Chain A
Amino acid sequence: MAEIITEPLGPGTAVVAVDGEVTFSNVAALDHQITVALAEATNLVVDLTAVTFIDSSGLSTLLTASARAREGGGTVALVVAQDEPPSIFRFRGVDRLLALYPSREAALAALS
């Protein structure tokens, strides 16, 4: 089961850290957490470093969040582990639509 922690990080930016697996069975929780965070912050870092598996419903939620942030003039930056990323990030076209970073620092640097 995914564990989700949201922390504010300075004005206008929040971090959502996700742990475990994201599937169509539990994606609603992530979706809710992101919606809440985006109500407060313009930019969002979603840290997926501790995520071991994510299916297309998780991907869909991240793409929707990204589009919503763009509407508010912000960005959603994703942090994805370098050594063993969830297999969905290996597919052609996924990286084209999402901003992927190897670390939380790199993501924050890109936002500032």
Chain B
Amino acid sequence: MSDPLRSLADAARAVTAAATDEDVLNIVAAAARDVIGARQAAARRGPNGAPHGPRLVAPLVARDGSSLGLLELWDKDGAFTRDDEAIVSALAQMAANAIETLELLNREHAARVEAEETGRRLLLEKQRAEALHRVGQAISRRLELQEIVQLATDAARELTPAQFGAFFYNVISDAGEAYMLYTLSGVERSAFERFPMPRNTDIFAPTFNGEGVVRLDDVLADPRYGHSAPYHGMPEGHLPVRSYLAVPVLTSDGEVVGGLFFGHPEPGMFSAEDEHMVAGIAAQSAIAIENARLYQERTRTAQTLQRALLPPHLPTIEGLELAATYRAAGEGNEVGGDFYDVFGQSDGSFALVVGDVCGKGPQAAAVTALARYTLRAHAVAGLRPSYQLVRLNDALLRQQAPGFVTAALARIDLTPAGVHLELATAGHPLPILARADGTATPIGDVGTPLGIIERPELPEVALALEPGDLLVFYTDGVSEAAAPRLILSEDDLARLVAEKAAEGPRAVVEHLERTAVANAGGNPRDDIACLALRVAAPLRVSQRFAAAPRAAHDVADALAPIAAELGERLAMDVRLLVTELVANAVRHTGVEGGTVAIEVRIAPRTVQLSVYDDGPGFELPERPIANPEGPGGWGLYLVDQCAARWGTERTDRHRVWLELDRG
């Protein structure tokens, strides 16, 4: 028989270390049996365990008096003693305490686990809310389609257990063709590039047909998997997908934009919550995609409309060189209110107009169309500029057009006696006249904008233009590009025009536009339109001949009549350069039966040469052109060395032009 006290002490230590109720009960039962010498002992949480007969029973009583169970002993040689009773009571108490402590610990643990679980859930919910918010924000910003789908795919992958994700989406090209693009998350593009786009297989169909979400614990075990040729499942080298979640992305009118697909190499990864999460992101991105499409559509419409409101190209008018630039404000998604036009009138004169309709968008576009066609309609009458503007004023008032229109309109008469200009300005910035002698000034008087009052004041000026004189029209998009920080006065504009006048109208309008764009920090808020004309010097040589090897002789013949007027040296330079340009044209025309045309104009200070051909033109080399070291490349080097200015232009033909200074 063991030492009863030691057994009790061992039992006391053991119960404090016990992990479960069961252990506690076993320890006290064994201790009671040993100490008291009974052959049978049981401790249990409920009553009624021992057989009938003599026994010793002690309740396990909790601190609050409730019963936790019983400790029973029976089958002892001899009767139970009072001492036995005391020992069993002590053991029962010990067990009760231990059990209560264990329960307390368990409750604490459970509470901690629950708290942690709640924390995790809150964090996840917060992350999900943030992700949805991010996707939502993309809707309010004008993101590109590509950015939206990437954002959605990344957000969904990060917030689900997905290891990789893809967004396959349909796009429609400008030509109206539908095709599918995709974006990936959690995997390099190279992992997908070898595979064809997913097709309407049994697995994919519910997504691409917009029927609903497909969530599979194990795609390999799904009855729909592996039935479609040629792969019958995932192609060789595909990412190892077991868990699969696919959500269709539908627009508000039920059109399937695409699908969000997620995968994990282990089965059973996606929960119903993940499904809801991705469905939420899909809904958000569908709205974003719809917005992006509408925005693209609006831009396309605006550009189409804009093109219709400007002449497709400027007319060719003998005796005038013309150039225009136009730049709509912003991102090209709105029709601007600036316009320009050049057209012939029934009396043989030409009208040049630049105008600005206040406002933007469809309303401004309607007024612009009204303005342009009203002016053109009155071209048959060959009216003076102020009368023409009065007609436009009447039309605007009759139409009750919103806002007003400013315009500068010139009528140009090209007569054998000279070039005559009449100009009227209706509330528009004054055109700049750069004379052949290098001076430049604003001309005209500011009149009343059109479409406001019945009798607008439209002062008219008339003056004679000389060869080389250059007249520039522009809109306030040029002068006020950087307003209110910087507003260019008409004198500032005159200075800008003078800087480039010698280089001709194209150089001038491009200079003005570049300056305005630069002043506005690259992003002008208003439209910019410029139109410039230069009175051409008299055309002294105009010849067209075959682009054939004998063309050098044709050049010599064509230029012979002006040799005396130019002087021997200049005449030889002119001949050399024309020969070089014609040689280039003959070499590069590449059109059978093609022709070369040469033109020479003699202005008081310059000689202007043009060579036209049917070829594709050539890339202008960087200038100054380096001195050739070998037998090749001398032609353009000579041109570059000798010409004061030169360049190329694409009209209906390819044109190389150059100017030589006289004297």
Contact = CB atoms under 8 A, between A and B. Distances in A.
User: Do these two chains really belong together in a complex?
Assistant: yes
Interface of A: 21, 23-26, 53, 55-57, 59-61, 63-64, 67, 84, 86-88, 91-93, 96-97
Given A63-B631, A64-B631, A92-B641, A55 B572 contact: no
B549 to A, nearest CB: 6
A55 B631 contact: no
B576 to A, nearest CB: 5
A91 B638 contact: yes
A4 to B, nearest CB: 17
A23 B552 contact: yes
A67 B641 CA distance: 24
B641 A56 contact: no
Contacts of B194: none
29 contacts: A23-B552, A23-B553, A23-B579, A24-B549, A24-B586, A25-B551, A25-B553, A53-B556, A53-B572, A55-B552, A55-B579, A55-B583, A56-B580, A56-B634, A56-B638, A59-B631, A59-B634, A60-B631, A60-B632, A60-B634, A64-B631, A67-B631, A87-B572, A91-B637, A91-B638, A91-B642, A92-B641, A93-B628, A93-B637
A97 B629 contact: yes
Given A26-B552, A53-B572, A93-B627, 20 more contacts: A23-B553, A24-B579, A24-B586, A25-B549, A25-B551, A25-B552, A25-B553, A53-B575, A53-B576, A55-B552, A55-B576, A55-B579, A55-B580, A56-B583, A60-B632, A61-B631, A67-B630, A86-B572, A87-B573, A88-B638
A26 to B, nearest CB: 8
Contacts of B569: 87
A60 B443 CA distance: 52
A97 B628 CA distance: 10
A53 B578 CA distance: 13
Contact of A63 (B549, B556, B630): B630
Contacts of A97: 629
A60 B572 CA distance: 19
A19 B350 CA distance: 51
A45 B637 CA distance: 26
A87 to B, nearest CB: 4
A96 B628 CA distance: 11
B332 interface: no
- Chain B, interface size category, equals 20 to 34
Contacts of A93: 627-628, 637
Nearest to B634: A56
Interface of B is mostly: helix
B604 interface: no
The 4 closest A-B pairs by CB, nearest first: A23-B552, A93-B627, A56-B634, A25-B552
Interface in B534-587: 549-553, 556, 568-569, 572-573, 575-576, 579-580, 583, 586
Nearest to B586: A24
Most B CB contacts (10 A, CB to CB) among A21, A56, A59, A92 go to A56
A64 to B, nearest CB: 5
Nearest to A25: B552
Contacts of A53: 556, 572, 575-576
B635 interface: yes
Interface of B: 549-553, 556, 568-569, 572-573, 575-576, 579-580, 583, 586, 627-632, 634-635, 637-638, 641-642
Contacts, number: 63
A92 B630 CA distance: 14
A33 to B, nearest CB: 17
A67 to B, nearest CB: 7
A72 to B, nearest CB: 17
A67 B634 CA distance: 16
A44 B125 CA distance: 93
A25 to B, nearest CB: 4
A57 B579 CA distance: 10
Contacts of B629: 97
B469 to A, nearest CB: 31
Contacts of A56: 580, 583, 634-635, 638
Q: Which residue among A23, A61, A96 has the maximum number of chain B CB atoms within 10 Å of its CB?
A: A23
A67 B629 CA distance: 11
Contacts of B637: 91, 93
Contacts of A25: 549-553
Contacts of A92: 627, 641
B580 to A, nearest CB: 6
Contacts of B580: 55-56
A61 B550 CA distance: 18
B583 to A, nearest CB: 4
Given A23-B552, A24-B552, A60-B634, A91 B579 contact: no
B543 to A, nearest CB: 16
Contacts of A84: 568
A59 B579 CA distance: 13
Contacts of B573: 87
Chain A CB count within 10 A is highest, among B553, B573, B634, B642, for B634
Contacts of B575: 53
Nearest to A59: B634
Contacts of A21: 556
A35 B628 CA distance: 23
Nearest to A60: B631
Contacts of B638: 56, 88, 91
A60 B641 CA distance: 17
A25 B629 CA distance: 24
Contacts of B549: 24-25
A100 to B, nearest CB: 16
Contacts of B556: 21, 23, 53
A87 B641 CA distance: 12
A86 B576 CA distance: 9
A56 B552 CA distance: 12
A21 B583 CA distance: 15
A93 B628 CA distance: 8
A91 B641 contact: yes
A78 to B, nearest CB: 14
Contacts of A55: 552, 576, 579-580, 583
Contacts of B634: 56, 59-60
A25 B642 CA distance: 22
Contacts of A87: 569, 572-573, 576
A97 B642 CA distance: 19
Contacts of A86: 572
B660 to A, nearest CB: 12
Nearest to A22: B552
Contacts of B630: 63, 67
A53 B545 CA distance: 21
A14 to B, nearest CB: 21
Contacts of B642: 91
